[in-house]
Chain A
Amino acid sequence: MTKVHDRVLVLLCCVGLVTTFFAPFLDQAPNRLASSTPLPLLNAPGFEAGAVILGLGLFMPIALLTSDRVRSLATIGASVLLLWACLAAAGHLAALRAPSGTPAMRLSLGPSFWSLAGIAVLALLDAAQRARLGLGARLGLVGLVVAGFILMARAGTFDSLSLTKEFLAHRAEFATELWRHLALVCAALLLAFVVGVPLVLAILRNDALRGVVLASLGIVQTIPSIALFGLLMVPLSSLASAVPVVKAIGVEGVGPAPAIIALALYSLFPLVRGFTVGLAEVPFAVKDAARGLGFDRRRMLLEIELPLALPALLSGLRVVTIQAIGLAAVAALIGAGGLGTFVFQGIGQYALDLVLLGAIPIVLLALAADLAFQLVIGVVRR
Chain B
Amino acid sequence: MKPIAFHAVGKSFGATHALCDFSLEIPGGAFCVLIGPSGCGKSTALRMINAMILPDQGRVTVGGEDVARLDPVEHRRHIGYVIQSVGLFPHWTVAQNIAAVPRLLGWSKPKQADRVEEMAGLLGIEPALLERYPHELSGGQQQRAGVARALAADPEIILMDEPFAALDPTSRATLQAELERIHARSGKTIVFVTHDMDEALRLATQMVVMDRGHLVQSGAPIEILRHPANSLVGAFLGGGSIHMRLLDRLAVRERSTPRRTGATGAIAAGASLRQALDLMLATGSTRLAVVDEDGTWRGEIHIGDIIAGGEAGTSDASA
Contact = CB atoms under 8 A, between A and B. Distances in A.
The reply, when asked whether chain A contacts chain B directly with Cβ atoms under 8 A, is: yes
A304 B89 contact: yes
Q: Is the interface of A mostly helix, strand, loop or mixed?
A: helix
B74 interface: yes
A380 to B, nearest CB: 10
**Size class of A's contact patch?**
10 to 19
Interface stretch (B8-16, B80-88, B302-310): B80-88
Given A285-B84, A288-B52, A292-B50, 18 more contacts: A283-B87, A283-B90, A285-B86, A285-B87, A286-B87, A288-B87, A289-B83, A289-B88, A289-B146, A291-B76, A292-B47, A292-B81, A292-B83, A293-B101, A293-B104, A293-B150, A294-B78, A294-B101
Contact of A295 (B75, B85, B104, B159): B104
Contacts of B73: 294-296
Interface of B: 47, 50, 52, 73-79, 81, 83-91, 100-101, 104, 146, 149-150, 159
A307 interface: yes
B159 A292 contact: yes
A308 B159 contact: no
28 contacts: A283-B87, A283-B90, A285-B83, A285-B85, A285-B86, A286-B88, A288-B87, A289-B81, A289-B146, A290-B89, A291-B76, A292-B50, A292-B76, A292-B79, A292-B81, A292-B83, A293-B76, A293-B100, A293-B104, A293-B150, A294-B76, A294-B77, A294-B104, A296-B73, A299-B104, A304-B89, A307-B91, A308-B90
A289 B91 contact: no
Contact of B52 (A291, A304, A307, A308): A291
Contact of B86 (A287, A289, A304): A289
A307 B101 CA distance: 18
Contacts of B77: 293-294
Interface in A278-324: 283, 285-296, 299, 304, 307-308
Tell which of A289, A296, A304, A308 has the most Cβ of chain B within 10 Å.
A289
B196 to A, nearest CB: 20
Tell which of A283, A290, A291, A304 has the most Cβ of chain B within 10 Å.
A291
Contacts of B75: 294
Contacts of A291: 52, 76
Nearest to B78: A294
